Amino acid sequence: MNLSEGPVNSKKKLPNISLLLAVFAACVGGTFQYGYNISVINAPTMYVQSFINRTWMERYQTNISQEGLTLLWSTIVSMFTLGGLIGASLGGTLSVKLGRRGTLLTNNAFSLMAALLMGISSTAGSFELLIIGRLLSGINAGIALCVQPLYLGEIAPTALRGATGMGTSVFITGGILTGQVMGLKEILGKEEYWPILLSTTCIPAFMQLLILPWFPESPRFLLIDKGDEDGCKKALRQLHGLADSDGALEDIEKERNNLVGFQAKKPWELFGDRSLRWQLLTIILLNTAQQLNGINAIYFYADYVFRQSGIPIDKIPYATVGTGACECLTALTCGMLIECLGRKVLIMGGYILMSICSVFFTLTLTFQDVSPVFPYLSMACVFAFILSFGLGPGGVTNILTTELFTQTARPAAFIIAGSVNWLSFFFISLVFPFIVIGLQQYCFLVFLGVCTSVATYIFFFIPETKNKTFVEIQNEFQSSKKNKFSSSDGAGTILLSTSI
């Protein structure tokens, strides 16, 4: 069949340079911002708290209580999560109305406003501006995490869809690493520079506004959603090259023909579509596990492990940069392996390795004082856990959310996946301190259960999606579920009525 031959042939070729630049333009102002804003807030913690105390004194002529200071600082940090949830709920709808590229460009307004408010907060003597700024940064990140993977998945050739989609993970980890580096004292980590540090989030926004307009809207969006065949052909020629554009157009036209008569449903309508129940369950499970698998606990324990290993306190930020570099390197490695090994092997293998690391980390923390070698073994477990996360769950989850749904179902699926991810992020941030207090190092046994359960589910229920068109993935997913559960509801017969 010609459709299946196109991806095979394109697999032998390097990506079009225009495609690579489009991925960079989308990611630098997209998920890079998410990673950057997660890490950049850590370095000026003491300076911002001092600013809050000083501002409170100027207003009320008394020092703020420790409880009040903790509450205000927690509010500043957690506003990012609330904003992310709002952004995730908006992203899918905006991507349908404004287009994928249009939404990414419009999204920069939140980032620029956040940078302005946080940059002038010290001069204005208002910590409230920090709260609003973090909320706007979160909205920006929530929309980006929803729409950017959507855009990347739709502009890429079938044979390069996984590698292209890894741009999301690579730029998240790159953002985390950049935020850690920018927060070092040698750069912007001094007290007088913290407003500038927090306002640097405007730089990636300006970069995207300058570069992304030179690249086209998603070809799938142009043809399937807007009916713009000429625009789709022009976009494919720019992104895929003249030689490969015909095969990609055939793939998109086949998907459009299967979706004739179907319109975008709302997220709640996906829950009522029985033909999508397993895809929906899969993305909910994977996005929940992405936050509850223990990666946040590893970063929580990292400082303690580094101190126990004899690293001086003033050198710990550099060791933390090492963890960021480790995760970034692993994301790049995953990007190179994903089209060779496939999605299923990487994500399942990542969870299996994380399960093993959870066992060893629990043991090394338990016997921390028994021998001087155990702190170093704990440090090795920290890096091994981060490597395992970046190799699979960190990179593949968003790609599967793109691939398990067809064009009309995809935006609503990302709204659901994004909302679940941000709610899980908020949940683990809320309950994790209590888990640590109650279980101490044994909290990793909880994460062991999460990782092994998810790995088992992936092994039995998720098909491989490598080198398959969206139509083929849907057919395989539906038929495999029908065979496993002897379904008689006919859900697999009208495959592409799995619309949003």
DSSP helix/strand/coil, 466: coil
Predicted local distance difference test score (pLDDT) of residue 480: 65
Longest dimension (CA), the chain: 78
Predicted local distance difference test score (pLDDT) of residue 484: 54
Domain assignment present for residue 492? The answer is no
Structural contact between residues 281 and 416, judged by C-beta atoms closer than 8 angstroms: no
Domain assignment present for residue 261? The answer is no
Number of domains in the chain: 2
Indicate the DSSP class of residue 225: I
Domain assignment present for residue 207? The answer is yes
173 and 62 both lie in a single domain: yes
pTM metric for this prediction: 0.87
Predicted local distance difference test score (pLDDT) of residue 85: 94
Best CA proximity match to 107, nearest among 60, 49, 148, 75: 148
Predicted local distance difference test score (pLDDT) of residue 261: 64
Q: What contacts 124, CB < 8 A, 6 or more positions away?
A: none
Domain assignment present for residue 118? The answer is yes
Predicted local distance difference test score (pLDDT) of residue 370: 87
Predicted local distance difference test score (pLDDT) of residue 244: 77
Give the separation between CA 344 and CA 470, rounded to whole angstroms.
Answer: 16
195 and 85 both lie in a single domain: yes
Residue that is last in its domain, among 215, 232, 255: 215
Structural contact between residues 253 and 224, judged by C-beta atoms closer than 8 angstroms: no
Domain assignment present for residue 263? The answer is no
* 143's tokens: 């929309």
344 and 428 both lie in a single domain: yes
Predicted local distance difference test score (pLDDT) of residue 141: 96
281 and 210 both lie in a single domain: no
Give the separation between CA 4 and CA 158, rounded to whole angstroms.
Answer: 9
Best CA proximity match to 149, nearest among 334, 499, 345, 411: 411
Give the separation between CA 420 and CA 414, rounded to whole angstroms.
Answer: 10
469 and 345 both lie in a single domain: yes
74 and 182 both lie in a single domain: yes
Residue that is last in its domain, among 196, 215, 234: 215
277 and 406 both lie in a single domain: yes
State how far the alpha carbon of 478 is from the alpha carbons of 249, 276, 336, 463, 484, in Å: 24, 8, 29, 10, 10
211 and 273 both lie in a single domain: no
Structural contact between residues 161 and 11, judged by C-beta atoms closer than 8 angstroms: no
Predicted local distance difference test score (pLDDT) of residue 110: 98
Could you report the average pLDDT of every consecutive run of 10 residues in the chain (500 residues)?
41 76 95 93 91 95 90 89 94 93 97 97 95 97 95 91 91 94 93 95 97 95 91 93 82 82 79 87 95 83 79 87 90 89 94 95 89 89 92 89 87 93 86 80 91 96 88 77 49 33
Indicate the DSSP class of residue 99: -
Residue written as token pair 């990506």: 15
Predicted local distance difference test score (pLDDT) of residue 488: 40
Query: Which tens digits make up the pLDDT trace of 240-275?
Result: 888 778 888 888 888 888 776 667 778 888 888 888
Predicted local distance difference test score (pLDDT) of residue 3: 40
184 and 293 both lie in a single domain: no
At residue 188, φ and ψ (nearest 5 deg) are -125, 25
Instruction: Give the residue numbers spanning the domain of 184.
Output: 15-215
DSSP string across 36-48: HHHHHTTTTHHHH
Structural contact between residues 111 and 165, judged by C-beta atoms closer than 8 angstroms: no
Q: What CATH number corresponds to the domain at position 148?
A: 1.20.1250.20
Domain assignment present for residue 493? The answer is no
Predicted local distance difference test score (pLDDT) of residue 12: 47
